[in-house]
Amino acid sequence: MKRVLGMGNALVDILVNLNHDKELGALEKGTMTLVSRKEMHAVMKDTAAADARISAGGSAANTINGLATLGVPTAFIGKVGGDEIGDSFRKDMEQRQVRPHLMTGKEETGRCVVLISPDHERTMATYLGAAIELEAADISAEMFSDCAVFHVEGYLVQNHPLLEQALRTASEAGCRISMDLASHNVVDENLAFLRDMVNRYVDIAFANEDEARVFTGETDPHKAVEILSRSVDIAVVKVGPRGCLVRNGDREVQVDAVPAEVIDTTGAGDLYAAGFLYARLKEYDLETCARIGSLLGSRVVEVVGAKMSSERWKKIRAEVREIEANHIV
C-alpha cells in the first residue's frame, strides 16, 4: 500500500479544562485564534494553575497518527523548532511508524492551547512558532514519490504560496488530495483563495457544519454538501451528534453519529478523517467510509486530547473489523 502523506502545522497541544466560559477572555468560543508569542505566554500564564495536559498535535498530524495506528503507511511534512519540544514531536512520529519530513525552523516549536469549556466545546489559541516558517521552497517532488493520498489541513490556507505549491506538486505526482477545511473563521478570512484551491485540486473535502456554511453560503447542510460536492469528488459535512452527510456526484448518504460520552471534542474531525481515508483506501462504499470515520471520531471525544491509549485503539480496531465484515461492497 502506498503512503498517505500529511502536511500541517507541527504543534504541541496544551489542554486545559475551564470552569466557566468567562475564562476564555477575548477569545471567541469554538474558534481557532492565532496569537503572538507574547500572547501565547500570557494565555499559558493565566492557565498555569489549571490541570493542563500536553501532547503532540496539529490537525493533519492527528489524522496521520490515526491512519498509522490503523496500519496505513504514512508520512508527515512540517517544521519544528530546534528545542526539546520539537525533538519530542519527531520521536512521537517515529514511534508511531510515521516517516517524518520535519525541518527545523528558527522559532521555538509551535503550540496550541486548547481551552475546553464545561459543555466540552473547545477554543484554541495557537502560536505557530516554527510551524509558520514552513514555506513553498521546502516542498519537493521526492516527498510525494510513493504517495497515494495527500492530506492537508485547511489551517495552512493562510500561507497561500505554500499551500498552492504543495497541492500542485501532489497533483503532478498523481496523488489523490484530501483537505480538512479547519476553522470557520479561517475559511471566512481566505474564502476566495480556498474556493479556488478546492475547485482546482481537492478530491475529498471535510467540513463541519459551520465551515460548510461559510464556504458555500448555505445554512442547510444538505444544500451545503451538494454545493461543496460540485468542486470535489467526495464532500463530507459533519453535523455533530446528528452524524454526517457524504456526497459523491448525485449520490448522498447520511450516517448517524456513534453514541459517545463526550469529554473533549479535540481531534474529533481529525480522527474522523483518518477513519474515512482508511476505508477509502480500501475502496469501501461511502456509507462504510462514513461509519468508520464516525466510529473514530466518537471514540476520541471520550478522552481528553487527540491521542488514545493502546488499549482503546485495540478495541477500536476490533470495532473497525466488525464494520468491515458487514459492509464491504
More confident residue, 76 or 58: 76
pLDDT at 185 over 60: yes
In order, the DSSP letters of 139-173 are --GGGGTTEEEEEEEGGGGGSHHHHHHHHHHHHHT
- The three grid cell numbers given for residue 224, joined into one nine-digit string: 451545503
**Opening angle at CA 204, ends 32 and 174, nearest 5:** 120
pLDDT score for 46: 67
Confidence tier at 328 by pLDDT (50, 70, 90): low
Pairing relationship of beta strands 122-127 and 110-116 according to DSSP bridges:
antiparallel
pLDDT value at position 78?
Answer: 96
In this predicted model, what pLDDT tens digit does every residue of 137-167 receive, in sequence order? Answer: 999 999 999 999 999 999 999 899 999 999 9
Q: For residues 271-302, b (16+ Cβ closer than 10 Å) or e, as one string?
A: bbbbbbbbbbbeebbbbbbbbbbbbbbbbbbe
The yes-or-no verdict on residue 70 having pLDDT over 60 is yes
Q: What is the mean pLDDT of residues 123-132?
A: 90
Mean pLDDT across the stretch 93-121?
Answer: 90
Domain ranges in the chain?
3-9+57-108+130-327
Quote the radius of gyration of the chain (alpha carbons, Å): 18
- In angstroms, rounded to a whole number, what is the distance separating the alpha carbons of residues 262 and 304? 9
SS3 for 277?
helix
Q: What is the pTM of this model?
A: 0.89
Q: Can you tell me the mean pLDDT for 37-55?
A: 72
Give CATH superfamily name and number for 3-9+57-108+130-327: Ribokinase (3.40.1190.20)
- What is the band of 73 on the pLDDT scale with cuts at 50, 70, 90? very high
Q: What angle do CA 273, 73, 87 make, to 5 degrees?
A: 90
